[in-house]
Amino acid sequence: MVSKRAPSIRTSILLLTLALTRSSHARVPKYKPISRSCGVASPSTELQDSHRWLQHNEALDNDLWNASSVQQRHIEHHHHGSHPFGESLSSSNASESDRRRQALPSPSPLYVVDTYIHIVADSSSASASSPKYVTDTMISQQFAYLAHAYTNASIGYRLLGISRSTNDTWAANGDDAGMKRALRRGTYSSLNIYYQSLLQAGANTPGIPAGSTLLGFCSLPAAGVTSGGTTGGGSISGGSTGVGNTTPGTGTPTPPNSRYILDGCNVLSGTMPGGNMVGYNLGGTTAHEVGHWNGLLHTFNGNSCAQDDFGDYVADTPQEMTSTNRCPVYKDSCPSSGVSSTTYNGGPGQTGANPYGPQGYSGPDPIHNFMDYSDDVCYQGFTPGQGARMLNIWQIYREGL
């Protein structure tokens, strides 16, 4: 549902109207399965610029395990001058993580994310006797799935707290800000995941008809949300609002975290391992949503095969025109885009008019990638390019904040 531009209200109404019209006619495929739906906002121009800069500047071999190369790109990015809080970060020294990574046979994470899990149940699923009750086992299995999903990307997660609440309004995404004001913990670099029993589309998921089932949504990283002390300078509620605006606002002084109180991931609790969302109940939704929190876009971002379309801005996820439903044996929605991974160099000769190699690698759609819409059994992992991208995004947007 996500494209580069948030659909206008008119488009949303049109979509809703189509949905209503269709359901009253016999043209709908009879047994249309539930498909994955994610309500992440469209990326801000600022975030897209960072992705574009990184796609151009990351090593083309996507050498994820080369920490010195990650650090070097990070420093260059800050010298590039587009981020307000670069200086304190660029003075950090990569030698410690370099040493750890080279000394250990299995990779230890380059950074560890403080994580808080909030179980938000409606009154009918709040008691242990309810079939929709989220057990402690489900929580630990979900956390293990998350940690495993990010091992190759060298990102660790440390579970610092679990809360349980019962609130029919919160469980149904009826007061996102109120829920997060009550429950959010940590700082901007802390991950908060809210597992809601009745998560559905609402005012905070533009482009998706209100009330439709949503497996999750998450905030993308935004620049400038921890700086400044007055309201009016930006909000992280939508990726395309005034984030990245470092001009002080004119409103009343507010505590810093009011700028990012909405930051975090909302996930339907039925998607946890053993949950009731058949096809999507192995824990993959959390891996997908947290990918957005770490800055990744859908592999089908842009929904086009156009030569100048950057898609997800990651070279080693082949361009994709459509999202994937369930787990097709083979899918190639952009059969003639990109160049082979062995010859890709991002040069102008390979990519028409665009010098940065927007299309990246050729090949079938990345249907096993966490950032596609495939079902949980289909999910396998992130690419090295996505891993490197998350490390760089972390250093630019969240580290130390």
Question: What amino acid positions are annotated as catalytic residues?
Answer: 289
Site string for Zn ion, 4-43 (x = CB under 5 A): ----------------------------------x-x---
Closest CA to 295 of 113, 140, 141: 113
Q: Should residue 106 be labelled a site residue for ligand NAG when binding is judged by CB under 6 A?
A: no
* Binding site partner of 149, from ligand NAG, Zn ion, none, Cβ cut-off 5-8 A by kind: ligand NAG
- Estimate to the nearest angstrom the gap between the alpha carbon of 3 and the chain centroid: 14
Cα–Cα dist 322/51, whole Å: 21
Count the Cβ atoms, other than its own, within 10 Å of residue 162.
14
Site string for ligand NAG, 188-227 (x = CB under 6 A): ----------------------------------------
| φ/ψ (deg, to 5) at 107 | -65, 130
Find the binder of ligand NAG among 144, 189, 381, 401 (CB under 6 A).
381
Q: Should residue 178 be labelled a site residue for ligand NAG when binding is judged by CB under 6 A?
A: yes
Q: Should residue 90 be labelled a site residue for ligand NAG when binding is judged by CB under 6 A?
A: no
Q: Should residue 69 be labelled a site residue for ligand NAG when binding is judged by CB under 6 A?
A: yes
- Contacting Zn ion within 39-98 (CB under 5 A): 40
* Binding site partner of 38, from Zn ion, ligand NAG, none, Cβ cut-off 5-8 A by kind: Zn ion
Cα–Cα dist 138/133, whole Å: 10
Tokens for 72, please give them: 């070097």
Three-state SS sequence of 156-190: EEEEEEEEEEECHHHHCCCCHHHHHHHHCCCCCCC
Q: Should residue 155 be labelled a site residue for Zn ion when binding is judged by CB under 5 A?
A: no
Q: Should residue 152 be labelled a site residue for ligand NAG when binding is judged by CB under 6 A?
A: yes
Q: Should residue 208 be labelled a site residue for Zn ion when binding is judged by CB under 5 A?
A: no
Cα–Cα dist 141/275, whole Å: 11
Residue 40, C-beta contacts closer than 8 angstroms, at least 6 positions apart: 2, 217, 218, 220, 239, 289, 292, 298
Q: Should residue 341 be labelled a site residue for ligand NAG when binding is judged by CB under 6 A?
A: no
Which residues of the shown chain bind Zn ion in the complex (CB under 5 A)? Answer: 38, 40
Binding site for ligand NAG (CB under 6 A): 59, 63, 66, 68-69, 93, 95, 148-149, 152, 167, 169-170, 175, 178, 380-382
